[in-house]
Structure 1
Amino acid sequence: MPENTDKTIQELVKEWLELDQNEATRKEIQDLSDNEDYNELEKRLRHRIAFGTAGLRSSMQAGFAHLNPLTIIQASQGLASYVISSSSTSTQTSQLSVIIGHDHRHNSSTFAKLTATAFILKGIKVYFLEDLVHTPLVPFGLNLLGSNAGVMITASHNPARDNGYKVYWGNGCQIIPPVDAGIAAAINENLIPVEGAWDTNILDREEGGLVEKVKGKVEEAYFERVKGMVEGMAVKGEEKVRFVYTPMHGVGLEPAKQVVRILGVEDGVVVVEEQAKPDPDFPTVKFPNPEEKGALDLAMATADKHDITIVLANDPDADRFAAAEKVDGKWQILTGNQLGVLFASHMISTSSLPTSEVALLSSAVSTQMLAAMGQIDGFHHEETLTGFKWLGNIAQQITARGTHKAVYAFEEAIGYMFSDVVHDKDGIAALSVFITMLKKWTAEGTTPAGKLQQLYEKYGFFESCNGYVVSPSPDVTKRVFDGIRKLGDGSGKKYPGSLGEKEITYWRDLTEGYDSATTNGVPVLPVDKSSQMITVGMDGVRFTIRGSGTEPKIKYYVEAKASGKEEAAKAAKTVADNIVKEWFKPEVHGLVVQS
């Protein structure tokens, strides 16, 4: 969306008050103006919220820079316009359709209704998921109903003050370039709310047959699909499994109940009651993200009370999945990479296809163990850029080629995709598969930790050391990366010759567009000069450093492979420390080190 650089702050206040018909958000801006709080008004009004490949995500406040009823209407009018202009049936707009869902966050229902209204007013049919749903139901329903696009109102595991506007395209995947840029441009051209844009009662009037409430239909088909997937993984016998489950104050409990009924394990599940009901304030956790320190403490305490050694969790919109196991009296939270390879091993062992015809995917910052498994077991492995927008789209492309079927993909941020259900991460599908794994391991007399040990002994021990530093600005982040690249100047290479005591044997720079392993030096993965991302290979170690697209962070993902766990962990930690000390140079650039 265009920046408001050529207007005075008084002009921006006037523009906001002319456009916004929501009493609460109008009052926010009016009060700031009356109090002459120009610093806050500059933050709220000067820059417009940016539309990117994840759609929109921000705190819920008045102003062009945040999510609120007006910016939701603007985004929806633009998206609706783009759907029409990009469709081959644009002259018959009544044939176009969109599916819209929402979670339980503050304002999610209102934002979903305003979104639906914008599409109806454009003559586009709305399939409305009229109650709380978990995020994967939108891409699933999009494919089921043959829609042109989908919108899910959710901020996933962000803090309570945030919300988001997640967009899927007609193939059931998150949007990627150039669609994202096209939608952003269309939003710029549709900033004035049209007549009726604020009247969400149009959904109840269902004028012209443009509204169909479909939650029941879509859910029924979704769980039939999940059931078909896990039935193909079933083990013989009636092994009993016990675990504690938490939906983390989100929408996961109802779909999780469906899963345990399908798998016949109702008697073995204990729910964390304090976190069972949807609560947009997330009162028992500092951050509603199972990856955050302390987020699973209540679930583990519940498990201890019931003498249970397994904890399973979804994040609030249930598109991510987490697990923990009590081993030798101590709780261990499985990392996203550990879960990723456990799922991968299970998918290969239960696939009805020859292994040589199966493809499994992972993102560039995820473990290299999946690639090692592919080399030994013979399945095709492919690496993508970070994010399920890439994993989902590339998986579809691989399957469309006809030589392999992409059945599964994951990335280290506890996201797991099962292609037979949706081409996006799905915490409920992951829950269902993990339960089948628990039943299988119980029959074999092992546990998640035991199965991991078996995999390490077969494929090698892979240990990670990930972290980040906080950067004061994008300019500083660029300066850090440019400084790293210049370390290679003295050796005549395009990249540094070493880090610490280790020689660099591989270098891929997806910002500058260089890959030392390709014959022409051009990377296979897409190059993006607007973001910073470098991947480095050394003896037994590989790491990626990148600038975060959503936070003021420079992240590092280090992984080492060795013949033992401790050796691999030590090697990864040493390289991580060297990255921060020798390359990031916090004291030079004013970076704040985090672990």
Structure 2
Amino acid sequence: MTQDLIARARAWLAEDPDSETRNELGKLVDAQDLDALAERFGGTLQFGTAGLRGELGAGPMRMNRAVVIRAAAGLAAYLKANGQGDGLVVIGFDARYKSADFARDTAAVMVGAGLRAAVLPHPLPTPVLAFAIRELGAVAGVEVTASHNPPRDNGYKVYLGDGSQIVPPADAEIAAEIDAVRGLGDVPRAESGWDILGDEVLDAYLARTDAVLTAGSPRTVRVVYTALHGVGKDVLTAAFARAGFPTPALVQEQAEPDPAFPTVSFPNPEEPGAMDLAFETARRLQPDIVIANDPDADRCAVAVPDAAALGGWRMLRGDEVGALLAEHLIHKGARGTFAESIVSSSLLGRIAEAAGLPYEETLTGFKWIARVEGLRYGYEEALGYCVDPEGVRDKDGITAALLVAELASELKERGRTLTDLLDDLAVAHGLHGTDQLSVRVEDLGIITNAMRRLRERQPAELAGLRVVSAEDLSRGTDRLPPTDGLRYYLDGAFKARVIVRPSGTEPKLKCYLEVVVPVADASELTTARERATAILEGIKRDLAEAAGI
């Protein structure tokens, strides 16, 4: 085993095109650091419906140029096998370590395989890449990004020509082509021949952002904005300027792209501490709302003043923003199907039903939401919103921010706030309280054991509410294809729902909780929220015990 591990490492080292990872791996081989080598050569990064994502470093279990070249070769082979061997592949990238290198390698492989390639001019938000695919008539697109993962990570997200992310069976077919790549010497790579796009495609994207707003709508809201060291700042401020909103006040410490993410331990607006500097800026400037993008700007977070919250500001949950945007779009006359994934609040279905609009529920991820027939609006609780599917068939943190700003401006003109509208929705449809139990692990076996334990010993009740039905989503349902997950419906004094699933992009077990508390009028809201909070805490406690986490 030891000699085999060393031999595989030496073989990889011999063809690694990157001096940094060659140096890293060479030191490990010389030192015969078997534990470190086993971590890097114990398997391969799996290409799935999220593409590739992992820690930067040497070897097949890390993100590096050798892995990316193989992935690009597999994608090129897939496209050629499907009659698209002379098509255009558009490539975008964020500002993380190695992103520009991975983008160039992808272009070189595409041109070497006989396809055409075009690379976006500089680090740009992921939705710009999703837009560019359809705008330029490409057969596929690649975005080099790890989104909101830790600084040490990078990723490789693949889109097909419809501008949405890959789903089965395309992911498995591409993965098979990647596995068929024997060595990097078998992969032709051009030295040149791909296009570096100008800002025309960005200008076209920005022109499209106007479509989400109503002509003549109020544009008065004052915003504090943070890009969280990502690539959103220039595009968002340009979109706000085009629309005529006041210039957002920037969180200066986080405004410019920085792959080290020096002010946050985890560059995700949902993570504790990530919004601290934004709230500090907001306390000083007293804006109407705070808006944040994640590092590749496909997600949008919103915070509102709240005297009861620590520090005076409260992050809205993704489900709250999702409901607000739905209500706003319906008020603006939107027609078409409203869709969400199974882990999002059921409130969207009630809003759509009240408006007489079709509603669909999908598996987790915008790769599924974007494919809903007749989609007009889609969202997922993890701060992702598709508000203009004709322009971007994916989540888009820039256009979502514009729409939030328009809604906040309209409410401001009437002396109201986003929280006032949330109260209205609770009275109209019941208070839909949501929360999450999320467990990050080093050992993926913990997740496997938790899922097995819940399947073998289904809880009879959670927080005093009886489990009246349970679905093992791995078997599929009448409307959903199979996925690794469990769904429980609870009944008793209130109705509740629980979904348990492994994350598709991070080493996490994620449990999504919802309870619906009826509300007769606004005077009952405080009590309803207290009840919802208590029930959700009870469900978290009992579910953690049942799962052994």
TM-score, normalised on structure 2? 0.92
Partner of 2:523: none
How far apart are the structure 2 equivalents of 1:318 and 1:469? 25
- Given the alignment, which residue of 359, 364, 368 partners 1:381? 359
Q: Relative to structure 1, is the Cα distance of residues 47 and 352 closer, same or farther in structure 2, using a 3 angstrom cutoff?
A: closer
**Contact kept in structure 1, 2:89 and 2:139, CA below 8 Å:** yes
- Given the alignment, which residue of 530, 541, 545 partners 1:566? 530
How far apart are the structure 2 equivalents of 1:28 and 1:475? 28
How far apart are the structure 1 equivalents of 2:454 and 2:203? 53
How far apart are the structure 1 equivalents of 2:441 and 2:491? 26
Identity level (%): 35
- Given the alignment, which residue of 338, 346, 356 partners 2:328? 346
Deviation of the 1:465 alpha carbon: 2.6
Pair 1:166-2:118 in alignment:
no
Structure 1: which 5+ runs fail to align?
A: 400-405, 488-494, 514-521
Alignment of 1:17-166 (within 5 A): 17-87=13-83, 89=84, 93-94=85-86, 96-166=87-157
| Residue identity matched to 1:214 | L
Partner of 1:227: 210
How far apart are the structure 2 equivalents of 1:462 and 1:245? 28
Deviation of the 1:448 alpha carbon: 1.1
How far apart are the structure 2 equivalents of 1:307 and 1:241? 12
The 3-state SS of whatever aligns with 1:231 is coil
| Residue identity matched to 2:115 | I
Partner of 1:534: 487
- Once the two structures are superposed, what CA deviation does each residue of 1:549-582 show, in whole Å capped at 9, x if it has no partner? 344433211111113222222222222222122x
- Given the alignment, which residue of 368, 372, 385 partners 1:416? 385
Partner of 2:525: none
- Once the two structures are superposed, what CA deviation does each residue of 1:271-291 show, in whole Å capped at 9, x if it has no partner? 111111111111111111111
Alignment of 1:185-264 (within 5 A): 185-194=176-185, 202-203=191-192, 206=193, 211-231=194-214, 234-235=216-217, 240-264=220-244
How far apart are the structure 1 equivalents of 2:62 and 2:455? 35
Alignment of 1:374-523 (within 5 A): 374-393=352-371, 395=372, 398-399=373-374, 406-418=375-387, 419-469=389-439, 473-487=443-457, 498-499=461-462, 501-513=464-476, 522-523=477-478
- Once the two structures are superposed, what CA deviation does each residue of 1:137-176 show, in whole Å capped at 9, x if it has no partner? 1111111111111000111111111111010012111100
| Residue identity matched to 1:252 | G
Deviation of the 1:475 alpha carbon: 4.8
The 3-state SS of whatever aligns with 2:163 is coil
Partner of 2:286: 307
- Once the two structures are superposed, what CA deviation does each residue of 1:285-338 show, in whole Å capped at 9, x if it has no partner? 111111111111111111221232421111111000011111237211111111
Q: Relative to structure 1, is the Cα distance of residues 266 and 551 closer, same or farther in structure 2, using a 3 angstrom cutoff?
A: closer
**Contact kept in structure 2, 1:533 and 1:547, CA below 8 Å:** no
How far apart are the structure 2 equivalents of 1:277 and 1:472? 31
Q: Relative to structure 1, is the Cα distance of residues 84 and 244 closer, same or farther in structure 2, using a 3 angstrom cutoff?
A: same
Q: Give runs of ≥4 in structure 1 deviating > 6 Å.
A: none
Pair 1:327-2:282 in alignment:
no
RMSD: 2.1
| Residue identity matched to 1:428 | I
Deviation of the 1:195 alpha carbon: 6.8
Structure 2: which 5+ runs fail to align?
A: 520-527
How far apart are the structure 2 equivalents of 1:103 and 1:549? 21
How far apart are the structure 2 equivalents of 1:9 and 1:227? 56
Partner of 2:524: none
Q: Relative to structure 1, is the Cα distance of residues 423 and 324 closer, same or farther in structure 2, using a 3 angstrom cutoff?
A: same
| Residue identity matched to 1:457 | V
How far apart are the structure 2 equivalents of 1:239 and 1:428? 16
